[in-house]
Structure 1
Amino acid sequence: MHRRAPCPTIKASSFVRYAHAPVSPLPDDPEALEADAYSAFDKGDLQRAARAFDALLGIEPESADFHYMQGLTQKYLRNWARSLHHNQRALSLGSEPNDAATWNAGIAATALRHWREARRHWRNAGIDVADCDEPINHHYGNVSIRLNPDSCAETVFAERIDVVRARLLNVPLPESGHRFGDIVLHDGARTGERQWGDSRVPVFNALSRLHVSEYRTFVVFVRAATLRDVDALLHAIAPGIGMVEDWTTSIRHYCMRCSYGTPHTHESSGASPWQPERNLGIAAVDLASVEDLLKQWIHGSPDRHFDGLANRDCELPEPTAATPWWRGPDDGEIETA
């Protein structure tokens, strides 16, 4: 599913565990072992890939390539200390600059909040940041973030406040486990594009949540006679309210082609009539704030009605399958039809 740009107005670094069949032994032959390692990674079997690359490093401990691949594997497993270690080893052992290892080391250092180390890698990647122990807090533009890409993926818009950190600007569905205002760590490789106003912004996969927002997510059902009635609620300013989003219009279910940034023409049944029943997502600090907002809104017109309200605080979902979810359109592996 996909979101429109918002109206202008912890399991943070847990090791990912995938469900697997019983562990099968690795090949003894080094050549077969290497083939097995890369094959497991390409299939998304990260646990097996990690075991195989460990075995290969036991044979060739000074291999920059194997350290890089283990660092990459550990990144997608969200095992940040190991990812940082292996990417640093790949950089120290490599005979040539490795931009991918530099970025992955910066991502892992950011996840660990090793700010000076992260800044060092960003400078090596050609990004102008100061040498200090503070987190980066700068506007790097707006992006789209694919939350939980290895399970029930949902894309939302976000403000990029760091090279690989972004603050969510939409109200995510409760099932995502995320909240409006969460700060997430995202990957460095784009996996598509989304329309933002008159321009297009890159899509990045979220890797981890670094900060949980104070705003909880409330699902609200109302009836509104006109668009003006809904707009009055969307743009209302009230204590304890972070954002009101009309999910009736902002959520779009995309086919795979559209989801990965290659929109195409779908058959249309023509313009839809106005829908009085609206489904809203409201980011608020507590229930009382939502109730006060709705009372104020209803008082403004007899054509405004409140039908129901619910709050669901969900955990971040577990990965649903071992698949190479990190691949984007440039990898040539995404099914587009």
Structure 2
Amino acid sequence: MTTTVDADDALYDAAYSAFDDGRLAEASALFARMLEGRPDAAELHYMRGLAHKYLRDWAVSLAHNLRALELDGFDEAAAWNAGIAATALGDWDCARRLWRECGIALPEGQGPIEGDFGLVSIRLNPWGAGETVWARRIDVVRARLLNVPLPESGYRFGDIVLHDGASTGGRRMGERTVPVFNALQRLQKSDFRTFVAFVSCDSADALEPLLEARAPGLGYVEDWTGSIAHYCLRCSHGTPHRHVDDEAPLPWKRDRSLGIAAQGRRTAEKLLRDWRRAGADRFVDGLEAVDAPIPEPDDGRVWWRGPEDDGTNEETEPETAAP
């Protein structure tokens, strides 16, 4: 984005300082004040649009990014941010136009984009615990969750989420690395609720029939005890980092915590009852239905940056193994 304002201007410095500190509402107000005197400054429209992207105020973000494009010609960053906002608002004509201008091939047609844009990892609530799960991109910036997220995330298996356009790291998937994108918000809530089951069995072979079960109203059964690992943020964002005992084999833990995505409690109960009856070494210790709200970001936290930018590499986040 072309700089069109005096970088020594005190208001300019205050606006950028507020943005860099994560004080987004304040930054937006300061950029708005500057635009009163410089309404044709593309940089200021871009920055106010960027602040409102992270505020998830999509109508304002779209308006300012489109104005920046009108004033300064095509700019990839502004076009992507406008495309994200248009997608969030369901303005499919605008979103399709912007993605094509960015050189992205799209499925033919009108309305929502429905395609296969590959497997990715999505960081849920990047302003909080930052759990990462696998997802299938159905759009340039929309993805359907393939794992059963932890209940406290507020997300569900099968949710369609809006994600940012810039990768914030990578995840190993077999022999390749796939990008990690920050989730911005849930666009479509799944019909599958999250149930937490506590079971015990003597071996992985005994657990396998439960994990492989298929039934009407059942989405997915995930062994959180075996699939969830905690990674330091340096590893999470793809920065090379060595850990002691990374390759050490883990002994089998008889007590397991499972995530079950099911449309109703009866489906989960029948699933567990049938599994328990099929083997003498199988026990069900409890089943809970957990519904939690999606946490909101706090003002003053710069959650969209990688940890190498702010020295927080020692924190950890849960990552779920590929389904």
The TM-score with structure 1 as length reference comes to: 0.87
Between the aligned partners of 2:221 and 2:11, the Cα distance in structure 1 is 53
Bigger shift: 291-300 or 174-183? 291-300
Q: 1:333 offset after TM fit, Å? A: 4.6
What CA distance in whole angstroms lies between the structure 1 residues aligned with 2:8 and 2:267?
A: 62
Instruction: Give the alignment partner of residue 264 of structure 2, picking from 279, 283, 286.
Output: 286
What does residue 53 of structure 2 align with? Answer: 75
Which residue among 194, 203, 210 is the counterpart of 2:171?
Answer: 194
Q: Provide the C-alpha distance between the structure 2 equivalents of 1:283 and 1:109, rounded to a whole number of angstroms.
A: 30
1:151-166 mapped onto 2 (5 Å cutoff)? 151-166=128-143
- The higher relative CO (CA closer than 8 Å, separation ≥ 6) is in 1
Deviation at 1:106, TM superposition (A): 0.5
- Taking the TM superposition and a 5 Å limit, the aligned residue runs for 1:214-253 are 214-253=191-230
- Which whole-Å CA distance do the structure 1 matches of 2:284 and 2:143 have between them? 33
- Residue 297 of structure 2 is matched in structure 1 by 319
Paired with 1:61 and 1:321, the residues of 2 have a C-alpha distance of 27
Deviates more, 1:290-299 or 1:117-126: 290-299
Aligned-partner SS, 1:143: strand
User: Which residue does 2:275 correspond to in 1?
Assistant: 297
- Paired residue for 2:237, among 260, 278, 284? 260
Q: Deviations over 1:181-237 (max 9, x none)?
A: 000000000000011122111000001110000000000000011111111111111
Deviations 1:38-97 (A, max 9, x none): 111111111111111111111101100000001111000000000000000000000x42
Pairs within 5 Å for 1:43-54: 43-54=21-32
Q: Is the 8 A contact 1:150 1:321 kept in 2?
A: no
Residue identity opposite 2:297 in structure 1: P
How far does residue 321 in structure 1 lie from its aligned partner after superposition? 5.1
- Distance change (3 Å), C-alpha of 1:260 and 1:167: same
Letter in structure 1 aligned against 2:19: F
Q: 1:168 aligns with which of 124, 145, 149?
A: 145
Aligned to 1:209: 186
Question: Contact 1:119 / 1:130 at 8 angstroms: preserved in 2?
Answer: no
Within-5 A mapping of 1:53-64: 53-64=31-42
Q: Distance in 2 between matches of 1:161 and 1:31?
A: 44
Query: Structure 1 pair 130/242, CA: closer, same or farther in 2 (3 Å)?
Result: closer
| 1:37-116 paired onto structure 2 within 5 Å | 37-94=15-72, 96-116=73-93
Query: Which is further off, 118-127 or 144-153?
Result: 144-153
**Structure 1 residue ranges, 4+ long, deviating more than 3 angstroms after superposition:** 130-133, 331-337
Give CA deviations for 1:147-178 in whole Å, capped at 9, x if unaligned. Answer: 11112221111000000000000000111110
Cα distance, 1:332 vs structure 2: 4.5
Secondary structure in structure 1 of the residue aligned to 2:284: strand
- Amino acid of the residue matched to residue 179 of structure 2? P
Output the amino acid matched with 1:164.
V
Deviates further, 163-172 or 196-205: 196-205
| Distance in structure 1 (CA, Å) of the matches to 2:311 and 2:43 | 25
- Is residue 120 from structure 1 mapped to residue 105 from structure 2 by the alignment? no
Q: Say if 2:127 is the partner of 1:150.
A: yes
Query: 1:263 Cα shift?
Result: 4.6
In structure 2, distance between residues paired with 1:263 and 1:232: 37
> Do the aligned residues in 1 keep the contact of 2:156 with 2:192 (CA within 8 Å)?
yes
Q: CA deviation at 1:264?
A: 2.3
Q: Aligned partners of 1:104 and 1:161: how far apart in 2?
A: 18
What does the per-residue CA deviation read over 1:302-326, in whole Å, with 9 as the maximum and x for residues that have no partner?
Answer: 1111011111111111224522111
The answer (yes or no) to whether the contact 2:194–2:262 under 8 Å persists in 1 is yes
User: SS of 2:260's equivalent?
Assistant: strand
Query: Does the C-alpha gap of structure 1 residues 104 and 131 become closer, same or farther in structure 2, counting only changes over 3 Å?
Result: farther
**Contact 1:119-1:131 within 8 A present in 2 as well:** no
- In the alignment, the residues of structure 2 paired with residue 42 and residue 155 of structure 1 have an alpha-carbon distance, to the nearest angstrom, of 25
Measured in 1, the distance between the counterparts of 2:125 and 2:45 equals 26
The whole-number CA distance in structure 1 between the counterparts of 2:282 and 2:196 is: 17
Distance 1:294 1:130, change over 3 A: closer
SS in 2 for 1:82: helix
SS of 2:9's equivalent in the other structure is helix
Pick closer, same or farther for the CA change 1:169–1:295 going to 2, 3 Å: same
Q: CA deviation at 1:130?
A: 5.7
Name the stretch that deviates more: 267-276 or 284-293: 267-276
Equivalent residues of 1:116, 1:132 under 8 A apart: no
Q: CA deviation at 1:299?
A: 1.7
Q: 1:334 to 1:160 in 2, by over 3 A?
A: farther
Secondary structure of 1:253's aligned partner: strand
Paired residue type of 1:50? S
| 1-structure distance, mates of 2:29, 2:218 | 47
CA positional deviation for 1:261:
1.6
In structure 2, give the amino acid aligned to 1:308.
G
Which amino acid is 1:181 matched to? G
